[in-house]
Chains A and B, each alone.
Chain A
């Protein structure tokens, strides 16, 4: 009995590692490590490579936050989450922030107790088909078998789209990318639908990406962005401005390669961003050079985009709506002052 009792006590202690999240920034600093919730594996957004290192645009947001808080972009770890569990783990405090291609919607922002801090990718639900199918529009898909990666809005959008156009389809819902992949490549379904970014990610993993076409129709708008728990605006600010710093850096033409030369710039707004002027870091509760660290270690938004999902990568996604606002896109950040 004695052992059993002491075992139970010890077990409780081991299992319940305590952490309070009233002040996430302090907790993160105390831990010396950022816990960032992301995907279980979506190439280009968050996926481990052969060496087990996580890479992707979502991971870069995590890295930027780590660079801002610790001055070290590697002081973070990716916690893979399923679409079902992602909000629960954020709310319970297991992770400090969520950067997992998650759509910013009213009910999530208001009702689920999340706070979205920005958008790092403007997405929309699309369709991927084999080129050999000879389909050029989603309106030709009457009677097709459709593989759906089970999310929260994907199957609803799909059902609405087909009902609206009075078309029929066979739905094959799958839990993860890998399954969807296996089923789609084998020809179990004609069409694969999820967010367009996901479709590009998927296509890039195929042996001959040119044999597959992403159809032009977008049947929903899906602004993807990082989120934090509701009610901790100090922490939300840190994440928001880490992302904004990456965007502003691109706008100003500062890259990880040339950031050092900008340290002696004449432009006051660049000096503010790099922490040479003003006490913006202190206001945020982090080091004053946080902007410099983010750009130096992670790069600006465009660099992250090109490195992970841009035209030179197998994903080959054009900037499109994700171009800078100065170039006709939607990527925009409030001024840094």
Chain B
């Protein structure tokens, strides 16, 4: 098991990014039971928002200085799209059969991809995203890229803030109440429409932060980056227990680590050589998902929801 600390770090970093995006899936699902398949594209729009902010700034601005503005730009773009999607695509369908909002979400996902493809300058191919200069850093026997430190700082901070927000504030408690029973929550005077918009906005903001991290890590953003990453984040949300915010982060990290370990070590198991390596990592990640769902259908941290329907 050579390079184990490195592989664990690789998985943790990738997983933290999945987790940040998974928050958006899980919050929206927890409150309106909608799988927002356009969330991967909201992540992508966040990346382009951050890039736009960087392009607007005068050339030569230090990246550390520009970073807060890029995060802000990403969040603005992603939240605007997320809230607009809720208002114009999902709200009119709130009482429609469940398949209608789902198909809408898929349609919206394609529309957002094509909109960026068509109208963002030069976005028909990958666009270069700014990266930190300098060499990578050694932490506990693992090499970590400078851009990844942003993710390692941002992900726990975001989780902490979200946890406090949901548990301590009035709006957060309103969210919990709406998730438990929207009708009763409304009777108790909670503006559920507002709560739902806030859930979409928080999810979009987290996706934008993940998108900035993605850009810093890989040095590029492109109009298709939301699809695969979004699918992985959705898997993470299901793995962790959809509806549970801590589950989303845990699911992301478990998925990321599983991918890294599968790439690194499956082929060292005697007789499994041909099932190892990068090409099989997704297969193993989904095998893990199936196993977890067989043993714990509600996901790692999901609560067994009493039948409401």
Please determine whether chains A and B interact with each other in the same assembly. Answer: no
Question: Interface residues, chain A, CB within 8 Å of chain B?
Answer: none
**Chain B interface (Cβ < 8 Å from any Cβ of A):** none
